[in-house]
């Protein structure tokens, strides 16, 4: 009896060793970077964590195929390294000594990636399933782009400033136009002296400055030739 | 009869010309005009590639013999004649009126493209209010399986600049479409310029207090923060360690001379315009020396935070490279995390190389060299919009730093724009045609027309055209104009006369230094610089670096040659301001000849002064 038991155990162990080894069929490599993710709060990777991992994979398989046949003992881990990386396979309990197809395992893991990550307080980058790519989350985009709002604010301020300055300028211009009219009234009263030279107001003279005075230009002709 | 240029003893200040509120406003305007984007993104780059501290030697020599004399000349001229560039040069000599027109034309061309650079700054500014910053992450591709390919192969900052901002085409001949977001920002920028220059110096004088002083505040903040970043000291030692061997390369002297020249914004007429609003009795000599020294000191002061941040970026890049290598090694050898740290990296590498050489070779490690990261030197828009923005994403609180940085750049550029616009505005105000136009209308028309022309820079190929304008319109003609300015004053107007005018304003005659530099040294230096510049530009066909995602060497840029029609535009841009100089002289010559021929046949009624008729009757007796 004992011998039969020992024989089955050793057969099972050999079978397991054959099922789970690096680059075996339907086997996946997992790599964890606990210290990178958690820093000082990092936990140590021990047998309890391994148990949790097996449980999570079994949970994922159950959820995916919705038949409650996968047990924790169906998940085999091997080749544990100090990096914290290992290989795992999921055996099929209904068929003896075979592994569940890799595509099924991959789909199950993908569906439940978030749950598995949060069980270990890690994310897609720090808990890597090397042959399973993660789907990227779409970026959050607000309904109106933020820059348009800021631009609107800036433009409103500028336009307000321009309008203010133009209106101010027009008002000043109107005031100036009133003043000459007042000055003309004063002139009629004779209170403002307009500077006059030779009977011509100086302003008029200034306007005429720079013109060629033909009288002097015709100097040569005025003198009778010798 | 020529106009008598000696001023009467009582100088009438009530000639209706606007004036500065106080001296400080004037100095600040000149300093703001001179201190621009080049102080931040060109000077540190030149320091870096020309042997660090050694660059300061040719820089200060150029400042002494080229920068300060030319600056003093322009300020003195404007202040004495009290006119904008066109009127000023017409007064110096009617044959030199072309110099004024050339200056005006150069001012117009520079204003057009300079404000487009500010458009890019504004675009980055309004995008800095988001979390995360849009240039820090790559967007996803269409079917959301991975990152956008163009972004993935280059970097997120490159992608945001070339694709999201410029939407650049792979070739200057492919114009692409107008980018609507850039049009909005361009409109906003020209609106800001209009707001600040609406009444000439009346409004710019108020705005300059903010735009000229704010950059210094931000530079100080960046200085303090930058020096606290890891790797800052590496950057600074790299920048300032003098390599005196670099002085043997003639290129360093040329770069120093051109940097000083363009940094002081000479020959665009802005300085003449500013000083024309001064009271005549003002010490322009002291002003010139002050402005030049403040400009150079600002360049030096700005290079410290720039290089601290660049050192930080290089160090972070180096650490990232190391970390990636370490991760690859521990993944390959299944070593526990944190077994290899940056400090013992080299020891581990040598150990693994000796024990498992094939496995190490299989890992494909990248060589991480801090020097290589520091050597990645960029100037111009690349420094601000690619390198610096990337460094900002690495700092905590990156939104605040980005907002500060881009506001500083905007203020720096805006205060330079004031000078450019004044160089366009002031001569126009003095033309008879516009005497009765209100200032607000004239400045509005200038800003509107400039905005419409500058729309072509918002095309997809716009940044290539800006490079063309910057290299050809904003460089060569200014050298030519400055040369004729010095020659004109020194030999046509005559130094003796000019010294007398300056003495009238400052109270003392310009000493031997000024006489020598104005008469001999500066013109000679300008001539040498001009010849060297032209030789450098023409010895190989003009080319440009294009951003082409389909290029094999992507993300490196593709070197392309300009097609002939673009080259002819480059030549046109360079020649247009210069051609006014001989044209102006020719025009005046023809006018003189026609006048002398007119004098021999005088029509009977020549004088139009009706009121004067009665007064000249006594002469006919």
What's the confidence (pLDDT) of residue A177?
Answer: 84
User: pLDDT tier at B582 (50, 70, 90 boundaries)?
Assistant: very high
User: pLDDT tier at B620 (50, 70, 90 boundaries)?
Assistant: very low
Q: Cβ of B15: how many Cβ atoms within 10 Å? A: 7
Comparing B428 with A179, which gets the higher pLDDT? B428
Q: What is the pLDDT of residues B72-85, one digit of tens each?
A: 999 999 999 998 89
Q: How many CA atoms lie within 13 A of B220 on its CB side?
A: 4
Task: Give which of B146, B17, B28 is closest to B87, Cα–Cα.
Answer: B17
What residue of A is the nearest CA neighbor of B187? Answer: A155
Is A76 within 8 Å of A59 (Cβ atoms)? no
Report the pLDDT averaged over residues B288-307.
Answer: 93
d(CA B580, CA B205): 31
Q: What is the pLDDT of residues B35-74, one digit of tens each?
A: 999 899 899 888 888 888 889 999 999 999 999 999 999 9
SS3 category, B392: helix
* Tokens linked to B113: 């493209």
Chain B stretch 333-352, residues whose beta carbon is closer than 8 A to a beta carbon of chain A: 334-339
d(CA A29, CA B334): 12
Beta strand A127-129 with A196-197: parallel, antiparallel or unpaired? unpaired
Q: Is the pLDDT of residue A222 over 70?
A: no
A214 and B334 within 8 Å at the Cβ level: the answer is: no
Q: Is the pLDDT of residue B516 over 50?
A: yes
CA of A147 to nearest chain B CA: how many angstroms apart? 5
The label of the residue with tokens 């300032």 reads: B240
Which positions in chain A touch B612 (Cβ < 8 Å)?
200, 205, 208
What's the confidence (pLDDT) of residue B611?
Answer: 43
Using the Cβ of A162 and the Cβ atoms of chain B, whether some distance falls under 8 Å is answered with: yes
Longest CA span, chain B: 122
Report the pLDDT averaged over residues B208-236.
Answer: 92
Size of interface A-B (CB pairs under 8 A): 115
Task: Give which of A23, A32, A19 is closest to A89, Cα–Cα.
Answer: A19
What's the confidence (pLDDT) of residue B167?
Answer: 92
Task: Determine the Cα angle at B488 with ends B486 and B490, to 5°.
Answer: 65
Lowest mean pLDDT among A21-25, B201-205, B223-227: A21-25
What residue of A is the nearest CA neighbor of B605? Answer: A214
Is B321 within 8 Å of B327 (Cβ atoms)? no
> With a cut of 0.85, is the ipTM above it?
no
What's the confidence (pLDDT) of residue B617?
Answer: 43
Chain A stretch 115-144, residues whose beta carbon is closer than 8 A to a beta carbon of chain B: 135-136, 138-139
Lowest mean pLDDT among B131-135, B141-145, B329-333, B409-413: B141-145
Q: Is the pLDDT of residue A106 over 90?
A: no
What's the confidence (pLDDT) of residue B14?
Answer: 60
CA of A168 to nearest chain B CA: how many angstroms apart? 11
Comparing B378 with B295, which gets the higher pLDDT? B295
What residue of A is the nearest CA neighbor of B181? Answer: A148
Comparing B234 with A139, which gets the higher pLDDT? B234
d(CA B362, CA B383): 36
Q: What is the pLDDT of residues B462-498, one digit of tens each?
A: 999 999 998 888 888 999 999 999 999 999 999 999 9
What's the confidence (pLDDT) of residue A88?
Answer: 87
User: pLDDT tier at B444 (50, 70, 90 boundaries)?
Assistant: very high
Task: Determine the Cα angle at B502 with ends B499 and B506, to 5°.
Answer: 135
Using a pLDDT cut of 90, give the percent of chain A over it: 9
Comparing B601 with B286, which gets the higher pLDDT? B286
B336 and A161 within 8 Å at the Cβ level: the answer is: no
Is B333 within 8 Å of B302 (Cβ atoms)? no
Lowest mean pLDDT among A50-54, B16-20, B456-460, B465-469: B16-20
- Cα distances from A31 to residues A79, A130, B76, B270, B346, in angstroms, run 12, 7, 75, 66, 25
Using the Cβ of B188 and the Cβ atoms of chain A, whether some distance falls under 8 Å is answered with: yes
Residues, chain B, total? 621
Q: Is the pLDDT of residue A209 over 50?
A: yes
Order of strands, sheet of A75-78, starting from the edge strand that comes earlier in the sequence: A75-78, A85-90, A28-32, A127-129
Radius of gyration of the CA atoms of chain A, in A: 48
User: pLDDT tier at B1 (50, 70, 90 boundaries)?
Assistant: very low
A165 and B440 within 8 Å at the Cβ level: the answer is: yes
What's the confidence (pLDDT) of residue B621?
Answer: 39
B609 and A211 within 8 Å at the Cβ level: the answer is: yes
Using a pLDDT cut of 70, give the percent of chain B over it: 94
Which residues fall within 8 angstroms of residue B537, CB to CB, at 6 or more apart? B471, B476
Report the pLDDT averaged over residues B103-126.
Answer: 93
Which positions in chain A touch B130 (Cβ < 8 Å)?
146-147
Q: Cβ of B43: how many Cβ atoms within 10 Å? A: 24
Which residues fall within 8 angstroms of residue A28, CB to CB, at 6 or more apart? A87, A88, A89, A102, A105, A106, A109, A129, A130, A131, A132
What's the confidence (pLDDT) of residue B348?
Answer: 86
Using the Cβ of B142 and the Cβ atoms of chain A, whether some distance falls under 8 Å is answered with: no
Beta strand A127-129 with A85-90: parallel, antiparallel or unpaired? unpaired
Report the pLDDT averaged over residues B198-209.
Answer: 90
* Tokens linked to A45: 């990777």
Q: What is the pLDDT of residues A32-67, one digit of tens each?
A: 888 888 888 888 888 898 899 999 988 888 888 876
Q: Is the pLDDT of residue A149 over 70?
A: yes
CA of B611 to nearest chain A CA: how many angstroms apart? 7
Which residues fall within 8 angstroms of residue B10, CB to CB, at 6 or more apart? none
The label of the residue with tokens 């550029």 reads: B413
B126 and A150 within 8 Å at the Cβ level: the answer is: yes
Task: Determine the Cα angle at B109 with ends B108 and B110, to 5°.
Answer: 95
Cα of B56 vs its chain's centroid, Å: 19
B611 and A200 within 8 Å at the Cβ level: the answer is: yes
Element (H, E) at A6: helix A2-19
User: pLDDT tier at B616 (50, 70, 90 boundaries)?
Assistant: very low
Mutate: best of B159, B191, B442, partner A, most A CBs <10 A = B191
Cα of B43 vs its chain's centroid, Å: 11
User: pLDDT tier at A204 (50, 70, 90 boundaries)?
Assistant: low
Residues, chain A, total? 226
d(CA B44, CA B277): 34
What's the confidence (pLDDT) of residue B47?
Answer: 87
Is A29 within 8 Å of A22 (Cβ atoms)? yes
Mutate: best of A132, A140, A165, A222, partner B, most B CBs <10 A = A165
Is B67 within 8 Å of B292 (Cβ atoms)? yes
Is B142 within 8 Å of B79 (Cβ atoms)? no
d(CA A201, CA A190): 15
B126 and A211 within 8 Å at the Cβ level: the answer is: no
Q: What is the pLDDT of residues B594-604, one digit of tens each?
A: 988 877 655 55
d(CA B376, CA B315): 12
Mutate: best of A169, A174, A209, A220, partner B, most B CBs <10 A = A169
Report the pLDDT averaged over residues B195-214.
Answer: 92
Beta strand A200-201 with A127-129: parallel, antiparallel or unpaired? unpaired
């Amino acid at each position: 009896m004992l011998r039969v038991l020992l024989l089955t155990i050793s057969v099972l162990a050999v079978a397991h060793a054959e099922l789970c080894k690096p680059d075996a069929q339907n086997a996946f490599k997992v790599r964890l970077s606990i210290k990178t993710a958690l820093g000082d709060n990092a936990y140590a990777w021990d047998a309890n964590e391994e148990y949790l991992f097996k449980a999570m994979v079994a949970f994922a398989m159950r959820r995916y195929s919705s038949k409650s046949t996968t047990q924790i003992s169906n998940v085999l881990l091997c080749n544990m390294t100090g990096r914290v990386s290992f290989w795992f396979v999921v055996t099929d309990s209904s068929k003896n000594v075979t592994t569940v197809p890799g595509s099924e395992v991959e789909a199950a893991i993908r569906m439940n990636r978030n749950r598995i990550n949060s069980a270990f307080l890690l994310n897609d980058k720090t808990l890597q399933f090397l042959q399973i790519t993660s789907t990227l989350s779409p970026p959050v985009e607000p309904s109106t782009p933020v820059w348009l709002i800021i631009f609107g604010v800036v433009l409103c301020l500028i336009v307000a400033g321009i309008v203010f300055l133009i209106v101010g300028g027009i008002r000043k211009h109107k005031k100036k136009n009133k003043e000459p009219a007042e000055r003309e009234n004063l002139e009629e009263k004779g209170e403002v002296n307009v500077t006059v030279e030779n009977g011509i107001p100086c302003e008029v003279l200034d306007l005429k400055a720079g013109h060629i005075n033909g009288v002097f230009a015709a100097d040569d002709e005025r003198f009778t030739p010798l | 009869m020529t106009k008598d240029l000696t001023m009467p003893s009582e100088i009438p200040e009530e000639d209706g010309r606007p004036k500065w509120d106080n001296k400080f406003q004037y100095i600040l305007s000149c300093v703001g005009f001179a201190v621009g984007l080049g102080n931040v993104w060109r000077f540190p780059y030149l320091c870096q590639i020309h042997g660090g501290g050694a660059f300061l030697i040719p820089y200060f020599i150029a400042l002494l013999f080229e920068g300060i004399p030319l600056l003093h000349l322009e300020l003195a001229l404007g202040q004495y004649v009290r006119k904008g560039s066109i009127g000023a040069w017409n007064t110096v000599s009617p044959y030199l009126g072309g110099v004024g027109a050339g200056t005006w034309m150069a001012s117009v061309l520079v204003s057009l493209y300079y404000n487009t650079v500010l458009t890019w700054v504004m675009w980055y500014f309004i995008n800095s209010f988001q979390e995360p910053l849009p240039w820090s992450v790559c967007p996803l591709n269409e079917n959301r399986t991975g990152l956008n390919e163009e972004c993935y192969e280059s970097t997120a900052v490159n992608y945001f600049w070339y694709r999201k901002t410029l939407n650049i085409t792979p070739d200057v001949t492919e114009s692409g479409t107008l980018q609507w977001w850039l049009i909005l920002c361009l409109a906003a920028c020209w609106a800001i310029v209009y707001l600040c220059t609406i009444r000439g110096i009346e409004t710019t004088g108020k705005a300059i207090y903010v735009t000229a002083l704010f950059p210094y505040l931000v530079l100080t903040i960046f200085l303090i923060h930058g020096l606290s970043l890891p790797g800052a000291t590496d950057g600074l030692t790299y920048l300032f360690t003098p390599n005196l061997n670099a002085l043997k390369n003639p290129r360093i002297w040329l770069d120093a001379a051109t940097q000083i020249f363009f940094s002081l914004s000479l020959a665009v007429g802005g300085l003449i315009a500013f000083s024309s609003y001064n009271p005549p009795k003002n010490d322009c000599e002291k002003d010139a020396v002050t402005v030049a020294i403040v400009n150079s000191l600002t360049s030096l002061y700005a290079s410290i935070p720039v290089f601290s941040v660049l050192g930080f970026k290089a160090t972070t890049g180096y650490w990232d490279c190391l970390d990636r290598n370490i991760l690859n090694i521990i993944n390959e050898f299944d070593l526990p995390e944190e077994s290899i740290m940056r400090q013992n990296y080299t020891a581990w590498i040598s150990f693994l190389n000796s024990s498992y050489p094939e496995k190490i070779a299989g890992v494909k490690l990248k060589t991480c060299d801090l020097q290589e990261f520091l050597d990645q030197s960029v100037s111009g828009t690349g420094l601000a919009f690619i390198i610096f923005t990337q460094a900002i994403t690495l700092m905590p609180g990156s939104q605040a730093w980005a907002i500060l940085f881009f506001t500083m750049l905007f203020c720096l550029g805006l205060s330079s724009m004031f000078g450019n616009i004044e160089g366009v505005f002031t001569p126009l105000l003095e033309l008879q045609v516009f005497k009765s136009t209100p200032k607000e209308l004239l400045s509005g028309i200038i800003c509107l027309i400039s905005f419409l022309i500058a729309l072509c820079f918002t095309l997809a190929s716009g940044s290539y055209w800006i490079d063309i304008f910057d290299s050809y319109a904003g460089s060569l003609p200014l050298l030519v104009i400055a040369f004729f300015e010095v020659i004109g004053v020194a030999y046509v107007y005559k130094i003796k006369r000019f010294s007398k005018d300056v003495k009238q304003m400052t109270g003392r005659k310009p000493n031997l230094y000024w006489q020598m530099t104005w008469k001999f040294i500066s013109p000679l230096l300008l001539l040498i610089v001009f010849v060297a510049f032209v030789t450098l530009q023409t010895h190989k066909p003009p080319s440009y670096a294009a951003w082409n995602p389909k290029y094999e060497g992507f993300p490196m840029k593709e070197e392309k040659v300009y097609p002939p029609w673009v080259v002819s535009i480059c030549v046109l841009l360079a020649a247009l301001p210069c051609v006014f100089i001989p044209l102006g002289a020719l025009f005046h010559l023809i006018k003189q000849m026609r006048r002398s021929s007119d004098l021999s046949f005088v029509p009977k009624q020549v004088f139009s002064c009706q009121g004067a008729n009665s007064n000249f009757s006594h002469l006919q007796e």
